Structure 1
Amino acid sequence: MIRDKRRLDPNTGELRPEGGAAVEPDGGPARAGGSPQEPVASGGAADGEQVAEGDDAPSPDDELARAKAEALDLADQVARGKADLYNLDQRFNNFVKRSRAEAETEKVRGAHSVIEALIPVLDDIAAARQHEALEGPFASIADKLETTLTARFGVERFGAEGEEFDPNVHEALMHSQSPDVTVDTITTVLQPGYRAGDVIIRPARVGVTGPE
């Protein structure tokens, strides 16, 4: 719409009312009311129709499905967390058991090392006792030492003449033959053996006589 603001009408020469006259772009008079017809937008709603608001809002079923999915995901995370905690607990328990076993092994190994270091002293005591030279205070000290080693660490002296030779616990340094024996027999004990429980600290070093 084009509004002609000239005070005088070019066609009649008369004075126009205040505000001028409105004309169409083709020069024709404006429609009643002086305002152009409002165009109707293509695809708009018809008269009396209202556009529904919130058409994109999720439905209750969608909300429930989403909540169930989140609940399942959280349950899965909790299950994984419990599994990880269980595995960690098992590894810790195994570590504690292994550490205790290793500590006990090292303790026994240390005791055996001390016993092995004392074997020369025990040999001297055994030799002195064999030659009846173990007397006086030295005899008391020697007895106390042997008693302590036996009671605390299970130390035992073994190897005697007349026993059957066992290569697991005896070490043969000499060997001879005789018709008087039917199996390999210890006839001479050069050094007694020592064991602590089931562990051989030192095998008995002996002379063996076997059958012809």
Structure 2
Amino acid sequence: MLPLFCDVMNARSSSITSYRNFVVFYRTLRLATTAVVNGRLYSTEKQPEEAAAAGAEQNAATQEVERLTKELAESKDKYMRALADGENMRTRLNKQISDAKIFAIQSFCKDLLEVADTLGHAIKAVPKDKLGDNTDLKSLYEGLTMTRASLLQVFKRHGLEAVDPINQKFDPNLHEALFQKEDKTVEANTVVEVTKLGYKLHERCVRPALVGVSKC
């Protein structure tokens, strides 16, 4: 019985050894028939096809990233332009609204300027040498003077101011030349006479001063 038992054990040990050798051989064969492509294992039997597919997939992904990056940059540029356009439009609208409020009385002011001119002419027409002898004339003169002064104060309160350019350099934006006059005491194109005052409303000329300028 003992020899038979030994034969059986030897046969079993031989089978186990053969199985282990087969496992080692199989693993070695598997390692020999695989390859690493782009960090992934591919069978060497299918390496060309799978490697090509992986490369195409990577190229497609790269192109998609580039496309999305370009679209993002374009969208950001359009967004920034839209913001700038909106801000510019808001600034223009605010200025237009502000100007509309400031210069809404421009036409009304022009009409009142004629009243101020009339009062000025009336004051100049009063003979100053007779004011002491005629109480009524003096009262009239003082009333006209006070009325004109009050009117000019109202003008100033609303941003309307008189422009008296005497002895200033002629400015076509603020003055209107009616004639030229010989005057050797001043430089050429200097305002030497003012026949009608000009007016500005918040630095905008609403009526140019009518002037005479010196000749060259």
Q: Structure 1-normalised TM-score?
A: 0.53
Asked if residue 102 in structure 1 is aligned to residue 102 in structure 2, the reply is no
Asked if residue 195 in structure 1 is aligned to residue 200 in structure 2, the reply is yes
Give the alignment partner of residue 168 of structure 2, picking from 163, 167, 170. 163
Distance 1:65 1:127, change over 3 A: same
Match of 2:111 in 1: 120
Distance 1:67 1:121, change over 3 A: same
Whole-angstrom distance in 2 between the partners of 1:175 and 1:82: 68
Distance 1:145 1:62, change over 3 A: same
Query: Percent same amino acid among aligned pairs?
Result: 19
Q: Deviations 1:81-100 (Å, cap 9, x if unpaired)?
A: 21221222132023213313
Whole-angstrom distance in 2 between the partners of 1:183 and 1:208: 8
Match of 1:143 in 2: 153
3-state DSSP of counterpart to 1:160: coil
Q: CA deviation at 1:75?
A: 0.3
Whole-angstrom distance in 2 between the partners of 1:156 and 1:202: 11
Q: CA deviation at 1:180?
A: 4.8
Answer yes or no: is the 8 Å Cα contact 2:155–2:161 preserved in 1. Answer: no
Distance 1:121 1:164, change over 3 A: same
For residues 27-176 of structure 1, the aligned pairs below 5 Å read 59-107=49-97, 110=100, 111-112=102-103, 114-125=105-116, 128=119, 131=123, 133-135=144-146, 140=150, 143-149=153-159, 155-176=160-181
Whole-angstrom distance in 1 between the partners of 2:151 and 2:183: 42
Answer yes or no: is the 8 Å Cα contact 1:193–1:203 preserved in 2. Answer: yes
Whole-angstrom distance in 1 between the partners of 2:85 and 2:188: 50
Whole-angstrom distance in 1 between the partners of 2:189 and 2:74: 62
3-state DSSP of counterpart to 2:73: helix
Note the residue ranges of structure 2 that are not aligned, 5 or more in a row.
1-44, 124-141
Whole-angstrom distance in 2 between the partners of 1:181 and 1:103: 46
Whole-angstrom distance in 2 between the partners of 1:207 and 1:142: 24
Distance 1:187 1:112, change over 3 A: same
Whole-angstrom distance in 1 between the partners of 2:94 and 2:161: 21
Match of 1:12 in 2: none
Distance 1:95 1:184, change over 3 A: closer
Distance 1:77 1:178, change over 3 A: closer
Q: CA deviation at 1:182?
A: 4.5
Q: Structure 2-normalised TM-score?
A: 0.52
Note the residue ranges of structure 1 that are not aligned, 5 or more in a row.
1-54, 150-154
3-state DSSP of counterpart to 1:190: strand
Whole-angstrom distance in 1 between the partners of 2:81 and 2:52: 43
AA aligned to 1:175 is Q
Answer yes or no: is the 8 Å Cα contact 2:187–2:214 preserved in 1. Answer: no
CA RMSD of superposed structures (Å):
3.6
3-state DSSP of counterpart to 1:135: helix
Match of 2:209 in 1: 204
Count of residues paired in the alignment: 151
Name the one with the larger helix percent.
2
